[in-house]
Chain A
Amino acid sequence: MKYLVKKIVTLIMTLFLVSVLAFLAFQIIPGDVVTSILGTEATPEREEALRKELGLDKPPVVRYFRWAGDVIRGDFGESYRYSKNMNQMMPVKELIGDKLPVTLLLAALSMILIAVIAIPLGVFWARSKNRFLDVVLNMGTQTAMAVPSFFLGVLVTYLFGILLKWFSPGGYVSYKESFWGCVRYLVFPAISVAIPKIAMTARFLRNSMLTESGSDYVRTAYSKGASERRVAYFHVLRNAMMPVVTFLGMIVAEIVAGSIVVEQVFSLPGIGKLLISSISTRDFPVVEILILYITFVVIVVYFLVDVLYRVIDPRISNK
């Protein structure tokens, strides 16, 4: 219980810290949502009217605590920038709720790609005794990790979208319209997200397996007459996966927090893109909640990985 309580307290502390930092950041950076909305049309009267309408005329401290109080009560407020209809601004909950599935779907697809490709690749690599193949895989994965993500995104778009015409760039289909159409489109951004991660995971798994292969229990397994294949899949892989799980957890946290670059390149209306545009339009309520969400996801995913680790590794769970 103490562990759980400690984790929750930590989470709350971090969320508070992050929200204060974000609020301070908004006090510091030039321009506010009023400038952003009115642009060059701004006149002092209009600015003042708008400021009043948005409640920006109150002192910062009051604003922060009013906002924080609302959030604690579960009211995430409304976007300054996006309207829901003619008379109402978009509630932040709805706005994010609308974008989140895209990011989550992208994350899920990427994780599937990573798991399906990286794990067999890592096992194959670890078992392969061909030195030339080792060099090829080593160089290949190093290269995959060296490609800048937006360059990769552009290359994928260019190759699959424009040359091969397997998908139409920017032709994102909303998951509400057609789930499979959406998945079909998201495969390509997912590839861009996954390629470097696949390389990292495969390398990591391979190294982990090689380390585990030297363990005493592997020798024991051989001494029972187990075949190499059996030893690799039955004994080594399971133990080698332990550290890989942590690594994958970090990747999940990273992707679920929003793949800003990839969402930008592929015009995906996900939360990464929302974050960027909300920062540039100074849409404080949206940015705050997004940052809190990212913090929350990162910490909770790490926590879950920790728990998962305890569940799958009998050594920790029963100590």
Chain B
Amino acid sequence: MKKKFGITLMALLLVAALGGCAGGKNPEDKSSEASNTTAESSAPGQQSVDPNASKDAKYGGKVVVGVQQDIDSLDPHKATAAGTKEILFNIFEGLLKVNENGSLICAVASDYSVSEDGLTYTFTLRDNVKFHNGNNVTAEDVKYSLERASGLLDGTPLISSLKTLKSVDIVDEHTVQVTTESANLELIYSFTTAIIPKGSGEAEGSNPIGTGPFSFVSYKPQEGLVVKKNPYYWQEGLPYLDEVNFKIVSGADSALLELKGHSIDLYSYLTDSQAAELANDYQILAAPSDALQALFLNNAEAPFTDVRVRQAVCYAMDRDLANEFVTGGNSAIISAPMLPTLKDYYEDLNGIYGTGANVEKAKQLLTEAGYPNGIEFSVKVPSNYEAHVQTAEVLADQMKAANINLKIELVDWNTWLEDVYKGRKYVATLCAITSDMTPSYLMVRFQSGHGKNFINFASTAYDEAYQKAEKSMKLDEKAGFYKQAEKIFVEEAGTAFIQDPPITIALNKDLAGYKFYPIYVQDMSTVYFTNK
């Protein structure tokens, strides 16, 4: 585990967050439901193939993957939409790469080390990694990519977490050294930033070229993006498929029709009832998602300025019912802003308000807060998310019992972004926020006055706990502070979290090898047609 790194604090963090490049099996790894194997950490040049796969795996074939959102950019450094990153994951790789366990593995780099002060990162490049155009990846390319993404090239950082980079230096042909302004344990994740050929960001009309398992073939707005097998891929034996077509479908309803017509081989984000409808024709797989659904309450708007009213809402809410109706009971009920999959940091706080409805308690709190006749408020729901609309409908019906009347107001997504998320002009909204693998991602925003604190949550206790967690250099301690912050947040009833809905996918019965990731990507490199 600690073979390569002498730095304890680094390792402590990495236990949860990083897999070392040459480490052994990670005891903390959770297995994803789709693949019952844990990836072997890959030594340079070593194969990393599902052992079960070799038996019936077949090379070749074309697969159509239904995706919901159109590509926002083909530039891996500029793309921001989750829906784009999910596809570009197959084309681009960074020095490091996330695996299905959420651990970091080496990709373009074969090894790396961090200086004791945490300010210098040294990456050793893997031999013979080739771009899709057949050129070898050189230190120059790595330097160019990192400088471009961090803004060292032209002053505008494209990836904001990299803006602390001070310099990228080529030590020798195979070694690149990166220095930063300040030490940050979570910075290592940013080295998943795509490595692209030197100068490709400027060249006129250049196609996206990366080092990923698939290479870019074509993209048509509204239709989709096609990729083909990268013959030079450094992980031998991967990928299996010859061609993957990421096809954009216009909506959940047409996706269902297309699935029924077998125009799509793989589709994620099924609703529970859609999954039930497809159960005969497809393999249905599910795993926890990276999204937390909540009834967000605007702490700066009456009646939610009063903590008792917020608590009343939490008590009155029947999360079990929402889970049952909307996700068929497959969600994880949550109360705090932390993904349950981040086990080290997650604290089960469902006991505070209970998962069912506590009508009496809710009524009592409302009366105390001066609302003996109950409250009525408008809930803005983005209309393109059917699951949220349905959840809102369930809650509206169920919370009436506690004299809490939700008036659902559907808004289009951009209006939601503008008015609710940015403008904070709302009383309550039902939506979800997504997380990445860092615990701070969700927690940072609830500090008083934070730019992303769209619920206007304000608690000095929370702020203190969070800041301690952020500064802490010890995992246990860090986790402790995070948990403390979570508890404060839940007790203050900053917002009424509901559930972590599962990702449910439909997979062609002839396909296997699909891996779920704790982040939002579709890794097609391990998917193969079975011999059946």
Q: Tell me the A residues contacting B by CB distance below 8 Å.
A: 29-32, 35-46, 49, 79, 81-88, 90, 95, 98-99, 154, 157-158, 161-162, 165, 167-171, 174, 264-267, 269, 273-274, 277, 280-282
Contacts and interface: CB of A to CB of B under 8 A. Distances in A.
Contacts of B250: 264, 267, 273, 277
A170 B261 contact: yes
Interface of B is mostly: loop
Given A37-B80, A98-B220, A274-B222, A86 B208 contact: yes
Nearest to A274: B222
Contact of A169 (B200, B257, B419): B257
B413 interface: yes
Nearest to A45: B160
B133 interface: no
A35 B260 contact: no
B207 A86 contact: yes
Interface in B375-411: 384
Interface in B257-281: 257-258, 260-264
Size category of the binding interface on chain B: 35 or more
B523 to A, nearest CB: 22
A98 B258 CA distance: 23
Contacts of B222: 82, 99, 269, 273-274, 277
Given A38-B80, A87-B75, A169-B260, A82 B451 contact: no
A42 B417 CA distance: 10
Contacts of B81: 37, 39
Interface of B: 70-75, 80-81, 156, 160, 200-208, 219-223, 249-251, 254-255, 257-258, 260-264, 384, 412-415, 417-419, 421-423, 433-434, 451-452
Contacts, number: 147
A85 B206 contact: yes
Contacts of B206: 85-87
A77 B80 CA distance: 23
A87 B203 contact: yes
Given A30-B418, A280-B413, A86 B74 contact: yes
Contacts of A82: 70-71, 221-222
A50 to B, nearest CB: 9
Given A29-B414, A281-B414, 8 more contacts: A35-B414, A42-B417, A83-B71, A83-B74, A85-B206, A87-B201, A90-B221, A157-B261
A29 B328 CA distance: 37
B417 A36 contact: yes
Given A82-B70, A169-B261, A170-B264, A46 B160 contact: yes
5 contacts: A30-B414, A31-B412, A31-B413, A265-B257, A280-B412
B433 A162 contact: no
B419 A170 contact: no
Contacts of A36: 413-414, 417
Contacts of B263: 168-171
A46 B421 CA distance: 16
A161 B261 contact: yes
Contacts of B72: 37, 81, 83
Nearest to A270: B222
Nearest to A95: B221
A43 B75 contact: no
Name the residue among B203, B207, B250, B433 with the largest chain A CB count within 10 angstroms. B250
Contacts of A171: 258, 261, 263
